[in-house]
Amino acid sequence: MRITVTVDGTQYTDDVEPRLLLVHYLRDRLGKVGTVVGCDTSNCGACTVLLDDRSVKSCSVLAVQADGHSVTTVEGLAENGNLHPVQEAFREKHALQCGFCTPGMIMATIDLLSENSDPSDEDVRHGLEGNLCRCTGYQNIVAAARDAAQRLRENPAATEEAAR
């Protein structure tokens, strides 16, 4: 099947097998290897990307379902070397160790913050429940999400961008 997808601002047209998962399309066909696969049961969230600005687990979406839509991956966040506020917050708060869950965590956090610009710790914990991290114990991820929320509130331009 022929699909046309905009990924991180670039439009791609490709022939894909109907069963090809979006995450494999991104990784194996487009070389967007920043998005990773951590499980085969849609439980870990490592593969989370934004599909038309809403977070999805790209291992549970077929590439053909993305036809005509836009996808943002972790590789599409930093612009001209400027980190996205959520990326900045993750670095500041030491919200990653091995970093394998991180792209998914960052994308899920962006979606969470687009829904709730001032989440409590509890809100963040619930909002990120679908993303597993084996390294951090989540505490610094929660801190990073709240720090990012503050950055985004203080800098609405970045909010715009995050909602892009």
Partner 1 sequence: MTSTVDPTTDEGVGESELGRARRRKEDEHLITGRTRWTDNIVLPGMLHAAILRSPVAHARITGLDVSEARGKPGVVAVYTGADLAEEQGSLPCAWPITEDMKTPNAPALAVDTVRFAGEAVAVVVARSPYEAHDALDSIDVDYEDLPVVLDLETAARDGDLVHPDLGTNVSATWVFDSAEAGSGGDVEDAIRDAEVIVERTFRQQRLIPAFMEPRSVVVDPTASQITMWSATQVPHVLKLMLAMTLGLPEHKLRVIAPDVGGGFGGKLQVTPEEVLTLLIARRLHKPVKYTETRSESMLAAHHGRDQVQKLTLAARRDGTVTGLKVELLADMGAYLRLVTPGVPILGAFMFNGIYKFGSYRFACTNVFTNKVPTDAYRGAGRPEATFAIERIMDELAVELSMDPLELREKNWIEHEEFPFDTVAGLTYDSGNYEAATAKARELFDYDELRREQAERRERNDPVQLGLGVSTFTEMCGLAPSRVLGSLSYGAGGWEHAAIRMLPTGKVEVVTGSSAHGQGHETAWSQIVADRLGIPFDDIEILHGDTQSSPRGLDTYGSRSLAVGGIAVVKAAEKVVAKARPIAAHLLECSEDDLDFEAGQFRVKGTAKSVGLTDVALAVFAAHDLPDGVEPNLDSEATYDPDNFSFPHGTHLCAIEVDTETGHARIRKYVCVDDVGHVVNPLIVEGQVHGGLAQGIAQALYEEAVHDESGTLLSSSFAEYLLPTAVDLPPFVTDRTDTPAPGNPLGVKGVGEAGTIASTPAVVNAVLDAVRPFGVTDVEMPCTPMRIWHALRDARGGTK
- State yes or no: residue 5 binds partner 1 (CB under 8 A): no
Q: Which residues lie across from 21 on neighbouring strands?
A: 62
Residue 64 touches which member of ligand FES, partner 1, none, C-beta under 5-8 Å by kind? none
* Sign of the dihedral defined by the CA atoms of residues 35, 41, 42, 45, in that order: negative
- State yes or no: residue 37 binds partner 1 (CB under 8 A): yes
Nearer to ligand FES, 88 or 161 (CB): 88
Q: What is the rounded CA–CA span in Å between residue 27 and residue 51?
A: 15
Q: What is the rounded CA–CA span in Å between residue 11 and residue 44?
A: 28
b (16+ CB within 10 A) / e for 61-80: bbbbebeebbbbbbbbbeee
Binding mask 53-72 for partner 1 (x = CB under 8 A): --------------------
* List of residues contacting partner 1 (CB under 8 A): 17, 19-20, 24, 27, 31-41, 43-44, 46, 73-75, 77-78, 83, 87, 90-94, 96-103, 106, 121, 124-126, 128-143, 147
